[in-house]
Each structure stands twice: as C-alpha cells, then as structure tokens.
Amino acid sequence: MLLAAALSALFTVSPARAADGRITGLAGKCVDVAGANTANGTAVQLYDCNGTSAQTWSNPGDGTLRALGKCLDVTSGGTADGTTVQLYDCNGSAAQKWAVSSANDIVNPQANKCLDVTGNNSANGTRLQIWTCSGGANQKWSAPASGGGTTPSGFVVSEAQFNQMFPSRNGFYTYSGLTAALSAYPGFANTGSDTVKKQEAAAFLANVSHETGGLVYVVEQNTANYPTYCDWSQSYGCPAGQAAYYGRGPIQLSWNFNYKAAGDALGIDLLNNPWLVQNDSAVAWKTGLWYWNTQSGPGTMTPHNAMVNGAGFGQTIRSINGSLECDGRNPAQVQSRVDAYNRFTSILGVSPGSNLYC
C-alpha cells in the first residue's frame, strides 16, 4: 500500500479580534518588539500591554503581520520547533507569512507550526518562537482584524461538497472526523489564496479517494500482506504483533516504523495501538494529514509544499507513490488520480492548475 515503501483550519468559531491592533496572548500580555527597535533581527517578545507602537500590529491582507514598518519573521526561515521570531524588513518570503485561524492560532504555514510563548512563561521579555501546534494557552492569540490568511468560515470544502465527492463512502470516514483532524496541521488548505487552498484540499482528497476506492476501504484488503509490515530491525520492534501494521486509513498507513513516526508526531501511541487508525475517524484522518504535510516519500517535497509552492498536482503523486506510478511506470493509476483531482476542483469551482502529471 501507499506507505509500504516509505522509510522515512479550519475551525468553526470566529477568531478573537483586537480593534486597536494589539496581539494579546498568555496572561493578557502583548506581542512586543523589544525596545521598539526597528533594526533587522530585533527580538519579538511577550510584554505588559502599554499602547506603544512596538505593540501595534497590522494585518494588511497579504499574509503578513507588521509593526514599526517591518514584518514578523521566522529567524533564518527555520521550521524546527523552538525557532525564534523577530522583526525584519518585509521581503515576501514564506518566513513572513502567517495564517490567523479561527481557533485563535497564528500559524506559519511553511513550518506548519504555531506562534508560541517559549516555556509557557508569562514573564516580561519572554521570547516568542514557533512550535508544533498543541492547543495550549501559550499558543492562543487575539489578532488584528483584516485579511491576512484567515479562514473565518472554516474548511474550504463544505460537508455538502464532501458528500458530493464521496457518494458511496464508508460511514467511518466522517466529515466531522476530517474537520476535527485539521487542527493537527493548521497550514493545510489554509495557505495562500483561496484558489490555492481549494486546490490543496482537492489534491489531498483526490489522492485519498484513489487510495481507498472512494473512501470505501478503511483497512488493506489483502490480508495475506499483513505479516509483512513488521521491520524487526527497528529497536522498538512490533509490540502490537507481527501482523498488526497493515494499511489503514485514508492514506493506508502501514509498517511499524510509519506507525511509530506518525504517532510520535501526533502525540498518539500508534505503535502499541495501531487499531486506533481503523477505529477513530479523526485519528485516521490525522495520519493522512501527517503524511501529506510532513513526508516526501519517493518525491522531493511534501505534497503540501507541492501544492502551496506551485509545483502542481503531479508532484503530490510522486511524493505518495511515484516509485511505482510516475515516469511511465503505471499511467493508468496516475490518470485515476488526475481524474479525481479534476472532478474535485470542479466541485470546488477552481481551476486545477498546471503540471497535473508526474
């Protein structure tokens, strides 16, 4: 199945708004430019709200957050947990793009991580950083009103559109399970223009449709394969059993090392309880989103990056199953994915874009 060869928001409530341009968070304190200094690289920190220009942020609608004429920036364009944020000349880079979700997260889509108060420390001068989104109070913010990357109406695919895409789906694959899973990767279908957001959602769902026969199959159908997905060379072995790591869920997660990696990323013990992927709809969807947003597989980029950076749908196929399908290996399978993508973009009312094949 899909991951057998891989070794390796979205929400429904309205975001809080700060009419005066402040961004407030932990302990009611403000996002502050240290010393009101406009030099590139100046630290951005938490501080008592004082009404100064160092705490007045604008959200001009281009995905940036600005103070003192400069942009909130992820230092060196980093994507790792703990990368600090700073003030820097606005340059249009992905390190300066932020999506203010309706769950009050401020997300850097390039990293798929949230603006975070280091150490959950509310002391004045505590640096701000990016960190894997956890839903904690140190990642919740009220942000200035305007357009920069917000999704006030929720997921770009409505439940009616989802049902139109999957008329014969298994009842396990619920729309509510999908929307509940979206908080794990807030940048998914929430990055770039409305067109790009819809194209990414359509691309993910098209590949999922192909992998599961239209969201019909929850588990791998060839039971003879089940014992083959245990790599005993891994130090943690296969604690759930030799035959426990077969394909499950919308992208058919398989192999013990993939269950371990996905579970670690999601904070769920899937190594010891892989059955969660076939018993909990939200967990199943989260494993699909984990692969989509974090894994390159046989490709050179994650499927998420392929869609938001304009590489095209064909590169999502390459990252998912390129070693078996791309470069003429199985054109019928590629065409099946492309057909689904074209159908879903039509339902969402957007162009499919270019570079559809791999």
Given a contact cutoff of 8 angstroms between Cβ atoms, the answer to whether 70 and 86 are in contact is: no
Is 156-350 in CATH node 1.10.530.10? yes
Split at pLDDT 50, 70, 90, the class of 12 is very low
pLDDT in tens, 265-285: 999 999 999 999 999 999 999
What is the pLDDT at residue 10? 26
In a 3-state reduction of DSSP, which class is residue 71?
A: strand
The kind and range of the H/E element at 17 are: strand 17-18
φ/ψ of 219, rounded to 5, equals -125, 160
pLDDT of residue 144: 60
Could you tell me which residue, 58 or 227, shows the higher pLDDT?
227
User: What pLDDT was estimated at residue 101?
Assistant: 67
**Dmax of the chain from CA atoms?**
67
Contacts of 328 (CB under 8 A, 6+ apart): none
CATH 2.80.10.50 range(s) for the chain read 17-144
pLDDT 10s digits, 51-72: 787 888 877 666 788 888 889 9
Instruction: Please give the pLDDT value at position 61.
Output: 63
Lowest mean pLDDT among 8-12, 309-313, 329-333: 8-12
Over the stretch 92-143, which tens digit does the pLDDT of each residue have? 888 988 877 656 788 888 888 899 999 999 999 999 999 988 888 899 888 7
Residue 198 or 61, more confident: 198
Is this prediction's pTM over 0.85? no
Which carries the bigger pLDDT value, residue 1 or residue 4?
1
pLDDT at 1: 46
Residue ranges, comma separated, of all CATH 1.10.530.10 domains in the chain are: 156-350
- Compute the distance between CA of residue 38 and CA of residue 252 in angstroms, rounded to an integer: 49
Sheet strands side by side (includes 30-33): 30-33, 42-47, 85-88, 70-74, 66-67
Mean pLDDT within 151-161: 72
Cβ(174)–Cβ(281) below 8 Å: yes
Q: How many CB atoms lie within 10 A of CB 13?
A: 11
Provide the edge-to-edge strand list for the sheet that holds 106-108. 99-100, 106-108, 113-117, 128-131
First vs last C-alpha separation in the chain: 19
Is 153's pLDDT higher than 80?
no
Q: CATH number for 17-144: choose from 3.40.50.2300, 1.20.1630.10, 2.80.10.50, 1.10.287.130.
A: 2.80.10.50
Over the stretch 26-48, which tens digit does the pLDDT of each residue have? 888 999 999 989 899 999 999 99
Q: Please state, in angstroms and rounded to a whole number, the distance separating the CA atoms of residues 110 and 305.
A: 8
CA distance 122 to 140: 13
Q: Tell me how many degrees the CA angle 139-113-289 measures, rounded to the nearest 5.
A: 120
Residues belonging to the active site: 211
